[in-house]
Structure 1
Amino acid sequence: MRLEPVVGDDPRDILRALRGALHGAGPALGLGLVSELPAEVRPGTAVVVTTSGSTGVPKSVVLSRDALTASAMATADRIGDGAWLLALPASYVAGLQVLVRSLVGDREPAILSGAFTPQAFAAAALMMVSTEGGERVPTFTSLVPAQLSKLLDAAAHDPSVLSALRSFERILVGGQALPAATLERAEAAQVRIARTYGSTETSGGCVYDGVPLRGVGVRIERGEVQVSGPTLADGYLDDPERTDAAFLRDRDGTRWYRTGDAGLFEDGVLRVRGRLDNVIVSGGINVSLDRVERIVRGIPGLAMAVVVGVPDARWGEASVIVASRGEALRRSEAVQLEEARSAVHAEIGAHARPSRLILVDELATLPSGKPDREAIRRAVVALH
């Protein structure tokens, strides 16, 4: 089967090509860094998504028609059918799935064009209002936490943005952990949120609010979250070694994806604790940067902060908080750093306390909207 790269990231071009790929009439789509990929893929492939990820290591994930469709149908099973607004890049899996759900539901998606702003989002959302048979058609969208935070900031003084947020039957939020403070703000504003967990390898979110979607299995093996079900990718294009390392098969034939995340799965609810490999060794003691970051984000003005590890002459490695000046409120850096250090000390211990707080004009992000942790880390190291 032929793999045809999609040049650029115009969502309308991707939508047209995706329609043929999902229905089996057209070639498979190549999204992202596809210039050096093979020209042929296995039959049944719909999309190959290539992304550098937050670590900077490229990977080309092969997604079949069956996997993408199963994901879209499981989402509808959980939250219902309706019309979708695309507010994320369509070349990344979360945005791609907005288009897939629209095609599976036989509805034309609304598309947010140009730069993401609260005003543009509100205008697009409020234009989606429609009825069928006298009943209002439910609307949905998918965002990353930084977008939701920006919208909530605007909604505090712009009624149209607040109305737009409230108009959605459900807003899926994923790509990274949603800070508790942001979730509380959304709930206080009566915005209906579903926190999603998943990756490109699982065709996007496969666990909503801790509960796996229909057909999705979750288990914990040696502290690692592993996922099974019909939404799994076929593997990595032209990379059998990486595929075999990430996708396991039980004796009974069940296929599992190793997420690399630490977590607990109790009473049918998944709690993700962060990346198993996002750990530094400070003073000879392992420190989970994800755990430190979760605590730091509970400090007022640091809800979207990123914690990275850097070399340290005394401790070997140390953690550093990087936050946006615009978010950090009118408080001194020294006060915020001390509050963060105290909170981390109380919950983890003195060895895990961040060494510095650095305020920047804007946090580096990937095109998907996630923090570009590797770029942020490099910038911090350069400051040293």
Structure 2
Amino acid sequence: MPAGTALVVRTSGATGRARGVVLGHAALQAAVAASIDRLDAADARWLGVLPLHHIAGLLVLLRARATRTPTTLHDRFDVAAIAAETDATHIALVPTMLHRLLDHGVDVGRFDRILLGGAVPPVGLLERALAAGAHVTVSYGMTETAGGCVYDGRPLDGVAVAVDPDGRVLVRGDVLADGYRTDRGVTPLRDATGWFRTSDVGRFDGDRLVITGRADDVVVSGGVNVPTATVVDVLQRHAGVAAAAVVGVDDTEWGQRVVAFVVAADPAAPPSPEVLRDHVRSIVDAAWVPREVRYLAALPRTTLGKIDGAVLRSEATRAG
């Protein structure tokens, strides 16, 4: 291990096999200091509900240690337990957790700040939260960047972000990990100029970074590139859809076929596959329309609330 190594933290594994990320003391200290400064959180009392074996949950503890302020930890996410808390001023959540708090009428406005990360918030979630009085900061980052390194589209102090010609998001700064742990040592993640090329795709809206998807969120079907994030967005605009996910699976005729998984808003009366396919066709290119639509009671998620694409692809392959 490199000198100064503090931790090896596994990635979430939402898109495949988890990897061990080697994080140094300097990277963690830089991430914690920049986060506290941006949030003006020197006196924050954090409520920890995220798993401590993930970087976002771990950072709750590290911020509290840095500021020497009290922290309350829950051993799991529990809506009633969060609603009963009265002392905490700050909480870190993933979108699924915030969605559940809103659904149960929890007073999210009593937190001085909700740090929301782990995934791009779905359509309408931020509007619901703001209407409920929540003070939300949307965080972008990953284990390799020692957690969130961009808040509300703007990099933290000491962090630089760029978008390459292919749309791939690049990150540089002291928050970067040393690399990935392997049987042969540590594989560096930075290039020769110090940039880390993420698997995320984005663009700039003025001076704000907007994440639009992942580089692997493209299904090539019949020679056509199908952006799955766009298809998901279109599906979720349908009133009969509560949640959706789209994956690609191998197909002898098309190379890959587009498969949609849908959670119906009303499980007793779900929109038919034909209705949903027609809905997608009315908005985007016909080649992007899912060849299959399947229904689930809930989308599979990792412990951090991310949609587990690996599970969905496995399910699509078995059922196909």
TM-score by length of 1: 0.76
Q: 1:293 to 1:313 in 2, by over 3 A?
A: same
Match of 2:95 in 1: 145
Q: Structure 2: how far apart are the matches of 1:104 and 1:323? A: 43
1:202-233 deviation digits (Å, cap 9, x = unpaired): 01111112111111101111221101111111
2:275 counterpart of 1:338: yes
Q: Structure 2: how far apart are the matches of 1:343 and 1:214? A: 43
- In the TM superposition, what are the counterparts of 1:290-301 in structure 2 within 5 Å? 290-301=229-240
2:44 counterpart of 1:80: no
Select which of 89, 111, 120 maps to 2:81.
120
1:173 shift after superposition? 1.4
Q: Helix, strand or coil: the match of 2:300?
A: coil
Q: Helix, strand or coil: the match of 1:201?
A: helix
- In the TM superposition, what are the counterparts of 1:154-169 in structure 2 within 5 Å? 154-155=104-105, 161=106, 163=107, 165-169=108-112
- In the TM superposition, what are the counterparts of 1:14-33 in structure 2 within 5 Å? none
Q: 1:368 to 1:332 in 2, by over 3 A?
A: closer
Q: Structure 1: how far apart are the matches of 2:240 and 2:33? A: 38
Match of 1:4 in 2: none
- In the TM superposition, what are the counterparts of 1:1-384 in structure 2 within 5 Å? 41-51=1-11, 53-81=13-41, 82-114=44-76, 116-123=77-84, 125-126=85-86, 128=87, 139-155=89-105, 161=106, 163=107, 165-222=108-165, 223-238=167-182, 243-244=187-188, 246-250=189-193, 255-312=194-251, 314-325=253-264, 327-328=265-266, 331-334=269-272, 338-339=275-276, 341-342=277-278, 344-384=280-320
Q: 1:243 to 1:300 in 2, by over 3 A?
A: farther
Q: 1:330 to 1:148 in 2, by over 3 A?
A: farther
Q: Helix, strand or coil: the match of 1:370?
A: coil
Q: Helix, strand or coil: the match of 1:311?
A: strand
1:329 shift after superposition? 5.8
Q: 1:262 to 1:52 in 2, by over 3 A?
A: closer
Q: 1:302 to 1:47 in 2, by over 3 A?
A: farther
Q: 1:256 to 1:240 in 2, by over 3 A?
A: farther
Q: Structure 2: how far apart are the matches of 1:96 and 1:330? A: 40
> Given that residues 181 and 303 in structure 1 are in contact (C-alpha distance below 8 angstroms), is that contact kept between their aligned partners in structure 2?
no
> Given that residues 240 and 270 in structure 2 are in contact (C-alpha distance below 8 angstroms), is that contact kept between their aligned partners in structure 1?
no
> Given that residues 333 and 357 in structure 1 are in contact (C-alpha distance below 8 angstroms), is that contact kept between their aligned partners in structure 2?
no
1:310 shift after superposition? 2.3
Extract unaligned runs of 5+ from structure 2: none
Q: 1:356 to 1:362 in 2, by over 3 A?
A: same
> Looking at both structures, which has the greater relative contact order when contacts are Cα pairs under 8 Å and sequence separation is at least 6?
2
> Given that residues 50 and 60 in structure 1 are in contact (C-alpha distance below 8 angstroms), is that contact kept between their aligned partners in structure 2?
yes
Q: 1:90 to 1:313 in 2, by over 3 A?
A: same
- Identity across aligned pairs (percent)? 38
> Given that residues 99 and 125 in structure 2 are in contact (C-alpha distance below 8 angstroms), is that contact kept between their aligned partners in structure 1?
yes
Q: 1:324 to 1:370 in 2, by over 3 A?
A: same
Q: Structure 2: how far apart are the matches of 1:212 and 1:58? A: 26
Q: 1:172 to 1:227 in 2, by over 3 A?
A: same
Extract unaligned runs of 5+ from structure 1: 1-40, 130-138, 156-160
1:121 shift after superposition? 1.7
Q: 1:358 to 1:62 in 2, by over 3 A?
A: same
1:163-192 deviation digits (Å, cap 9, x = unpaired): 2x1111111111111012212211221212
> Given that residues 246 and 261 in structure 2 are in contact (C-alpha distance below 8 angstroms), is that contact kept between their aligned partners in structure 1?
yes
> What value does the CA root-mean-square deviation take over the aligned residues?
2.3
> Given that residues 12 and 54 in structure 2 are in contact (C-alpha distance below 8 angstroms), is that contact kept between their aligned partners in structure 1?
no
Task: State the one-letter code of the partner of 1:142.
Answer: A
Task: State the one-letter code of the partner of 1:181.
Answer: G
Match of 1:12 in 2: none
Q: 1:215 to 1:351 in 2, by over 3 A?
A: same
Q: 1:52 to 1:197 in 2, by over 3 A?
A: closer
Task: State the one-letter code of the partner of 1:258.
Answer: R
1:231-271 deviation digits (Å, cap 9, x = unpaired): 11111124789834x31132xxxx11111212112421111
Q: Structure 2: how far apart are the matches of 1:323 and 1:169? A: 35
